[in-house]
């Protein structure tokens, strides 16, 4: 089969049940998801809908208790550099400066020094942190930290970037700028992005496809292909229609849950 027909990520009837203090909790049930190379996918839903669980399974941090979890048709057995993760709390190494944080992956994989230097320089430029290359994480703002986290994943040749509410802790202005930059980087590099969020606007602005999930137990409800041209205008009538549609989708769960 040609590469184009095999999805880069595929989850077949995936489920996850935790057992905690003798009780079992079903975090995710029967989730099916196919991600094509180069797609930008947003997972959206209320807390407890299993969106983070799904993402962490794709990363290999958690294993499914049911179903298959595949990358290029091969079962995912654990975390690895092909799937880079950007955490909401950054997860930067505080003892490494920006340069060495970005170079962590290539260094781990034993790349030659000159090559690491070149790669790191390239990605420092890409995220606009030239002036902060020698600064430690505790001296950076939240937005800058998240730029480092993104550059760190890209510098390690990740094919898929998994993002777990990466902009959730940032102020509105910074969030919007980083959203713009992320779309820009994504369209230039042909990355595949799986992005978890609970913000409807963010999902519509970023995604090719929005996957709506709902809790109790976590599952996938619906998928929507967002066909709006890029760059997207959040004030347009079409954007607003999507906003209304997804909002009613998400809120129907709340009513169902409450009733």
Nearer to another protein, 95 or 227 (CB): 95
Nearer to another protein, 57 or 203 (CB): 57
CB of 193 to another protein, least distance (A): 15
Nearer to another protein, 161 or 246 (CB): 161
CB of 106 to another protein, least distance (A): 9
- Mode of pairing for the β-strands spanning 66-71 and 9-20: antiparallel
CB of 251 to another protein, least distance (A): 32
CB of 253 to another protein, least distance (A): 29
Nearer to another protein, 74 or 95 (CB): 95
CB of 56 to another protein, least distance (A): 9
CB of 127 to another protein, least distance (A): 16
Q: How big is the CA angle at 182 (ends 92 and 161), to the nearest 5 degrees?
A: 60
Nearer to another protein, 109 or 251 (CB): 109
Nearer to another protein, 10 or 164 (CB): 164
Residues within the interface to another protein (CB under 8 A): 59-61, 78-81, 83-85, 87, 89, 91-97, 104-105, 108-109, 136-138, 152-153, 156
């Amino acid at each position: 089969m040609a590469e184009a027909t095999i999805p880069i990520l595929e989850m077949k009837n995936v489920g996850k049940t935790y057992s905690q203090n003798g009780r079992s909790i079903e975090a995710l049930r029967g989730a099916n998801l196919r991600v094509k190379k180069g797609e930008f996918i947003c997972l959206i839903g209320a807390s407890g809908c299993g969106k983070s669980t799904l993402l962490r399974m794709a990363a290999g941090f958690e294993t499914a208790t049911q179903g298959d979890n595949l990358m290029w048709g091969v079962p995912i057995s654990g975390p690895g550099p092909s799937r880079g993760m950007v955490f909401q709390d950054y997860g930067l190494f505080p003892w490494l400066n920006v340069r060495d944080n970005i170079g962590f992956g290539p260094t781990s994989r034993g790349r030659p020094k000159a090559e690491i230097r070149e790669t790191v320089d390239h990605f420092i430029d890409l995220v606009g942190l030239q002036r902060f290359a020698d600064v430690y994480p505790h001296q950076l703002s939240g937005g800058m930290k998240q730029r480092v986290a993104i550059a760190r994943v890209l510098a390690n040749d990740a094919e898929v970037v998994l993002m777990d509410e990466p902009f959730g802790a940032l102020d509105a202005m910074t969030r919007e700028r980083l959203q713009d930059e992320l779309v820009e980087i994504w369209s230039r590099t042909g990355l595949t992005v799986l992005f978890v969020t609970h913000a409807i606007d963010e999902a519509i602005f970023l995604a090719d496809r929005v996957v709506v999930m709902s809790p109790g137990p976590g599952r996938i409800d619906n998928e929507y292909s967002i066909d709006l041209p890029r760059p997207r205008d959040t004030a347009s009538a079409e954007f607003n229609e999507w906003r209304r549609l997804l909002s009613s989708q998400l809120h129907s769960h709340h009513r169902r849950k409450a009733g």
